[in-house]
Chains A and B, each alone.
Chain A
Amino acid sequence: GEDVEQSLFLSVREGDSSVINCTYTDSSSTYLYWYKQEPGAGLQLLTYIFSNMDMKQDQRLTVLLNKKDKHLSLRIADTQTGDSAIYFCAEGYGGATNKLIFGTGTLLAVQP
Chain B
Amino acid sequence: DAGVIQSPRHEVTEMGQEVTLRCKPISGHNSLFWYRQTMMRGLELLIYFNNNVPIDDSGMPEDRFSAKMPNASFSTLKIQPSEPRDSAVYFCASSAPDSPLHFGNGTRLTVT
Binding site for B on A (CB under 8 A): 31, 33, 35, 40-45, 48, 88, 92, 94-105
Given contacts A31-B100, A95-B98, A98-B31, 20 further A-B contacts (CB under 8 A): A33-B100, A41-B106, A42-B4, A42-B91, A42-B104, A42-B106, A43-B91, A43-B101, A88-B43, A94-B98, A95-B97, A97-B48, A97-B50, A98-B97, A98-B101, A99-B33, A100-B45, A100-B101, A102-B43, A104-B42
Chain A residue at smallest Cβ distance from B91? A42
| Alpha-carbon gap, A96 to B31, bound state (A) | 8
Tell me the B53-112 residues at the A interface (CB within 8 Å): 55-56, 91, 93, 95, 97-106
Checking A44, A95, A101, A103 against B103 with a beta-carbon cut-off of 8 angstroms, the contacting residue is A44
List, in ascending order, chain B residues with CB within 8 A of A48's CB: 100
Main secondary structure on B side of the interface with A: strand
| Alpha-carbon gap, A79 to B71, bound state (A) | 43
| Alpha-carbon gap, A43 to B98, bound state (A) | 18
Checking A31, A101, A103 against B45 with a beta-carbon cut-off of 8 angstroms, the contacting residue is A101
